[in-house]
């Protein structure tokens, strides 16, 4: 579940700042320390908790910070924020960064349209709205507001997700998140009146909404935990069917209620012809079982398609009883197979689109399949008919990432977007019959792409592995080792860091910064083997890859250690925490966001146990315990070591990676870290893991992150 966020839920479309900083040695460097104020950290009390792992005692002095319901923790958060914001408020160009972001964010953003029933829908943000608004139009009539999440709460922290329509478009169901929580409500409305038709469904988590015609829908959730809903363990996912007009208490439990059906993540979907129910069940974030039920026969059994979790398989489409599956079973880069629903096990599969040397992802629309390949993290797209025949390779407008090519079976026009780190996203209309693409909508982002360059390089990691990295910067940048640089990475959960435009990144580039993204192991850029090479007892490969990226940037004079920041969120926050504690001298600034930082206890919170495929657990074996303890950021802060200037960011309502990870790490750094560098934590209140964060909070966050980074690199003015 971690991969569903970051990569970049943390970075949302922001504007850029126009005035480049003065970064010459004469004006900025080393004449004075960047932080002129003397920091006195709040005292964090130490408890006496000691855990025993395989006869080894491990102290956990800040265990009390895990209690998010205690007044003592709330007071600690308040005191830490007071210190952090008093520091940030003294950065001389903080307001200038914020004003520039606000100004350059203020352009209209519109998504591709989609048709439901008789209406055409699209999302739009006028510029600085906290949440996108859903509009609709009938034919050539003027568009009207259909749903406006900005009206759901006064501060914009209630967001909408997971909107789906019934078969004829007359009904819709959508989820809302309050304060960034993963716990959601489902609201069901009549699309003509836009009014709810029954009571909301509550306590829903990690769920899709899949309609069965107009009768009702399938959704997933956990039993509400006792104690804190933000941190208590959620371990047994269940699928329910909600029949319209009935109370939630009467919803049918479809799968997941027994010990035999116990899984941490279960999803249910109905085929577009309403013939089959497909259930995917996982115990971790990699690998799933797959089941099918014939809905035309009420008493039909749930049949097994794949009965183990050693591979990933999902249904792409069906034509009658013919199923089209995407799988990496015996195909690490994925392939498409066909099988009859009457006998759907792997021994009956027939290849339709074979595995290649490049990682495959699939979409469908217009009665065609679209194969999207990653070639060194760059998009290549091919169109196939349902017999597996290649129709054409689709000509893309450049080197970057294409997203989209999906729609209903009867659609003749599909939409896709194309972007890279220096090219704002353009939406194209694609004719499935002719293969022609026409510009549907250009981005209104105020960014001069021609003034920048984005290059891909390959560097060598510690064990000799070649790793790609994309580096973006102004064309007139001098490679003299003095450029403020952010090195970004993720390295986990099979998530691929592909090029995309973010106005937040543009803001950094316009300030004269260099932005580098390393496609390190643990991700999915080169398939299952690349992912597995960064998991469990091979996790150090991920950190070595990131360290080698930093060394490359230094060696090639893009930057130097005095001007280098490392950044990542969620699993990427772990990456930052591990690397800054292993090689503190290599970086000037560290920016771990919503990070997994206590590797001995991560699996005891919320759905954390589901991340064991990537991490292993401290209870798994003595070898695994020793390995985790060897890099766990919370357990590797050493007394008397000077660490990079650190700004930890988290949200007090993060119930995916609980904020206690960040709290403990901050306490360790403040207690043990030496030198004059600040070790601060910025705790966003009424905010979660990142998804749905309102625009106003995003602007504030990035003004502070960039301000902190530049300030601690010795940049005195912009």
Q: Which residues form the catalytic set?
A: 570, 689
In angstroms, the CA 234 to CA 185 distance is 17
Strands (E), 493-644: 514-518, 564-569, 589-593
Evaluate whether 565 touches 589 at the Cβ level (below 8 Å).
Answer: yes
Phi/psi for 132 (5° steps) reads -65, 145
Strands (E), 587-626: 589-593
First-to-last alpha carbon distance for the chain, in angstroms, is 39
- How is 7-64 classified by DSSP, letter by letter? TTSSS-------SPPP--HHHHSSSS-S--SPP-PPP------EEEETTEEEE-TTGG
Among 197, 163, 159, which residue's Cα sits nearest to residue 698? Answer: 159
Quote the tokens at residue 504: 């937040």
Quote the tokens at residue 171: 């009904």
Among 708, 707, 712, which residue's Cα sits nearest to residue 96? Answer: 707
What element of type H or E holds 25?
helix 25-28
Max CA pair span of the chain: 80
Evaluate whether 278 touches 290 at the Cβ level (below 8 Å).
Answer: yes
What element of type H or E holds 292?
strand 289-294
In angstroms, the CA 686 to CA 697 distance is 10
In angstroms, the CA 603 to CA 619 distance is 10
Evaluate whether 592 touches 246 at the Cβ level (below 8 Å).
Answer: no
Quote the tokens at residue 130: 């906290």
- For helices 94-105 and 503-510, give the axis angle rounded to 10 degrees: 130
Among 396, 429, 434, which residue's Cα sits nearest to residue 413? Answer: 429
Evaluate whether 264 touches 610 at the Cβ level (below 8 Å).
Answer: yes
Evaluate whether 98 touches 127 at the Cβ level (below 8 Å).
Answer: no
Among 251, 294, 301, 246, which residue's Cα sits nearest to residue 270? Answer: 294
Location of structure tokens 């210190």: 83
Among 577, 511, 569, 575, which residue's Cα sits nearest to residue 541? Answer: 575
Beta strand 564-569 with 589-593 is parallel
């Amino acid at each position: 579940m971690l991969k569903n966020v970051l990569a970049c839920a943390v970075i949302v479309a922001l504007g850029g700042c126009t005035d480049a900083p003065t970064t010459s040695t004469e004006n900025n460097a080393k004449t004075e320390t960047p932080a002129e104020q003397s920091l006195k950290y709040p005292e964090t009390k130490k408890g006496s908790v000691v855990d025993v792992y395989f006869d080894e005692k491990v102290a956990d002095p800040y265990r009390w910070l895990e209690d998010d319901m205690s007044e003592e923790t709330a007071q600690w958060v308040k005191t830490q924020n007071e210190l952090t914001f008093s520091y940030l408020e003294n950065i001389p160009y903080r307001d200038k960064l914020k004003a520039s972001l606000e100004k350059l964010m203020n352009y209209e953003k519109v998504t591709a349209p989609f048709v439901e029933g008789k209406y055409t829908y699209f999302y739009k943000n006028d510029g600085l709205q906290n949440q996108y608004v859903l509009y609709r139009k009938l034919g050539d009539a003027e568009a009207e507001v259909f749903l406006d999440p900005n009206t759901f709460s006064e501060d914009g922290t209630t967001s909408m997700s997971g909107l789906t329509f019934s078969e004829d478009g007359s009904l819709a169901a959508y989820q809302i998140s309050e304060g960034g929580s993963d716990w959601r409500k489902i609201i069901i409305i009549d699309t003509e009146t836009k009014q709810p038709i029954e009571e909301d469904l509550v306590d829903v988590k990690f769920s899709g909404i899949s309609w069965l015609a107009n009768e009702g829908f399938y959704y997933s959730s956990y039993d509400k935990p006792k104690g804190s809903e933000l941190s208590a363990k959620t371990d047994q996912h269940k699928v329910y069917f909600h029949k319209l007009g009935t109370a939630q208490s009467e919803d049918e439990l479809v799968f997941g209620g027994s010990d035999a059906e116990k899984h941490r993540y279960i999803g249910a979907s109905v085929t577009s012809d309403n013939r089959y129910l497909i259930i995917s069940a996982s115990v971790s974030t990699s690998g799933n079982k797959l089941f099918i039920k014939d809905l035309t026969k009420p008493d039909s059994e749930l049949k097994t398609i794949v009965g183990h979790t050693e591979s990933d398989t999902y249904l792409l489409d069906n034509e009658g009883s013919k199923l089209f599956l995407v799988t990496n079973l015996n195909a690490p880069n994925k392939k498409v197979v066909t099988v009859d629903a009457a006998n759907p096990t792997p021994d009956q599969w027939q290849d339709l689109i074979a595995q290649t040397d490049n990682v495959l992802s699939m979409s469908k629309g217009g009665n065609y399949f679209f194969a999207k390949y990653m070639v060194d993290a760059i998009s290549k797209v091919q169109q196939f008919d349902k017999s597996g025949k290649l129709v054409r390779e689709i000509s893309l407008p450049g080197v970057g990432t294409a997203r989209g090519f999906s729609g209903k079976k009867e659609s003749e026009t599909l939409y896709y977007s194309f972007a890279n780190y220096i090219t704002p996203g353009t939406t194209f209309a694609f004719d499935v019959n002719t293969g022609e693409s026409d510009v549907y909508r250009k981005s209104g982002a105020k960014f001069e792409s021609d003034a920048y360059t984005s290059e891909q390089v390959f560097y060598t990691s510690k064990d000799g592995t070649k790793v790609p990295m994309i580096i973006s910067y102004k064309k007139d940048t001098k490679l003299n080792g003095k450029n403020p640089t952010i090195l970004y990475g993720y390295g986990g959960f099979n998530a691929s860091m592909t090029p995309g435009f973010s106005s937040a990144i543009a803001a950094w580039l316009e300030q004269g910064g260099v932005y580098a993204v390393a496609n390190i192991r643990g991700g999915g850029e080169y398939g299952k083997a690349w992912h597995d090479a960064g998991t469990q007892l091979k996790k150090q490969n991920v950190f070595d890859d990131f360290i080698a990226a930093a060394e490359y940037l230094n060696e090639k004079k893009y930057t130097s250690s005095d001007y280098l920041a490392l950044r990542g969120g969620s699993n990427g926050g772990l990456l930052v925490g591990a690397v800054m504690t292993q090689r503190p001298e290599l970086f000037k600034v560290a920016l771990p966001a919503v990070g997994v930082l206590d590797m001995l206890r991560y699996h005891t919170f919320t759905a954390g146990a589901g991340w064991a495929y990537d991490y292993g657990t401290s209870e798994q074996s003595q070898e695994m315990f020793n390995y985790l303890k060897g890099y766990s950021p919370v357990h590797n802060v050493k007394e008397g070591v000077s660490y990079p200037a650190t700004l930890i960011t988290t949200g007090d309502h993060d119930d995916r990676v609980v904020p206690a990870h960040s709290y403990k790490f901050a306490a360790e750094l403040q207690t043990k870290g030496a030198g004059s560098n600040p070790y601060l934590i910025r705790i966003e209140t009424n905010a979660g893991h990142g998804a749905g964060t309102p625009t106003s909070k995003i602007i504030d966050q990035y003004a502070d992150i960039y301000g902190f980074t530049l300030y601690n690199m010795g940049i005195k003015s912009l």
